[in-house]
Amino acid sequence: MVAMDSNQPLNGRVTPRRILIIRTDRIGDVVMITPMIRELRQRFPDAYLATLTRPATRDIVLRNPHLDAALTDDLEKETFWKTVKELRSHHFTEGLLLLPTERAIYQMFFAGIRNRISVGHRLYSILTFTRGISRNNYTPLRHEADYCMDLARTLGVETENLVPEIFVTADERREAANYLLSRGVSDSDTRLYVHTGTRGSAPNWPEEQYETLVSHLLAGIPDPHVKIVLTAREMSAEFIRRCIARDPARVIDISRDIHDLRKFIILLSAANILISPSTGPAHLGDALDIPCLAIHCHRPMNCATYWGILNHRSVNLEVSDEHCRTHCSADQQHCTIGSGITVEDVVAQARMLLSKKDIPVLN
């Protein structure tokens, strides 16, 4: 890719870049732009950097020291021109669009962003003279964070560092510690978080298999100071009741106290280990540098190559190619991830992670 000059003329003089990164989809997708933010800041220390996300995912980039502004768009028809007006007020020189939508393309165009770069080639991209960066039909398949970084590379970024990051303050960490202490989890306890939901974003175990997992974790890791923390809002009341009944002193449900994404991030930052399907919370854990044990389907758009956890202390468990070909439907609508990755597989990996000496501790 051909890099452009680090500064551009504006109103007859040279000014630092003003770069907007747009990603208005789900939690895991927004996490994937955090490596871009870091690397753009390193490449252009004097640039003005901002993000445009949905209000619900802004908490992912909140407190990010590399950002100058975290803007939001609620995607409602009535607010289209309000967002355009706000974008125009920031005088952006570049717009990097990671989720190509007609709305965002035209918002960049009407906001007067001169250098507009998007993923792929759409009719509305052509009509607005927006440059398209092809993913080459995902061949060869790379990580989503790497595809995102391709847009930063068009501006001259040179990096292979794709590890995501989320920033939590010392006060927020104390908030998490105090909350957990109120639930009977002390600083000296090892906190093994289990997140069971995906909200349909990826193939997942049935709830009954997670209940079996909790039972096996309690039996296989008998240390009373290893606490199992349940986090998913999707959990049924009966599932929670049965899990807690197995050992009320060691199984804690915090899901009902999580009312927004920032609260979830704060409480998740206190985890020593996270077990999760391949979905948003797994990527939040990755960005918080928590050892994660992620459960992946084998099909390309869900596999570890494309959506794997990137921090070096984590484990990506993926259904084997042979199992997928033998037991899943050819159209990939029927996924047997529950038998492709067993409870025993996860417990063994959890014990391995617990045996390591570099699991994080709560300060």
pLDDT at 151 exceeding the cut of 50: yes
pLDDT at 200 exceeding the cut of 90: no
**CA dist list (Å): 106 to 74, 101, 102, 129, 193:** 15, 9, 6, 11, 42
Mean pLDDT across the stretch 52-76? 98
Banded model confidence at residue 51, pLDDT cuts 50, 70, 90 = very high
Mean pLDDT across the stretch 193-219? 94
| Residue-level length of the chain | 363
The mean pLDDT of the chain is: 93
pLDDT the model gives residue 4: 38
pLDDT at 2 exceeding the cut of 80: no
Nearest to 343 by CA among 320, 317, 321, 309: 317
Q: Are 53 and 261 in contact (CB under 8 A)?
A: no
What is the second-level CATH architecture of the domain 170-355?
Answer: 3-Layer(aba) Sandwich (3.40)
Q: Which helix (H) or strand (E) holds 315?
A: strand 315-318
Looking up tokens 């999760």 gives 276
Banded model confidence at residue 13, pLDDT cuts 50, 70, 90 = low
Banded model confidence at residue 336, pLDDT cuts 50, 70, 90 = confident
pLDDT the model gives residue 360: 52
Rounded CA gap, 180 and 142, in Å? 38
pLDDT at 66 exceeding the cut of 60: yes
Strands 48-53 and 226-230: unpaired
Compute the C-alpha angle 61/174/257, nearest 5°: 75
pLDDT at 7 exceeding the cut of 50: no
The DSSP symbol for 13 reads E
pLDDT digits (tens, 9 = 90+) for 269-302: 999 999 999 999 999 999 999 999 999 999 999 9
**Burial (0-12, 13-18, 19+ Cβ within 10 Å), 293:** buried
CATH 3.40.50.2000 domain residues, the chain = 7-153, 170-355
Looking up tokens 């159209």 gives 331
Q: Which helix (H) or strand (E) holds 193?
A: strand 190-194
Q: What radius of gyration do the chain's Cα atoms show? A: 22
pLDDT the model gives residue 359: 56
CATH for 7-153, options being 3.40.50.300, 1.10.8.60, 3.40.1360.10, 3.40.50.2000: 3.40.50.2000
pLDDT the model gives residue 361: 45
**CA dist list (Å): 158 to 3, 4, 41, 150, 308:** 10, 13, 12, 10, 22
Q: Calculate what percentage of the chain has a pLDDT beyond 90.
A: 86
pLDDT digits (tens, 9 = 90+) for 16-29: 999 999 999 999 99
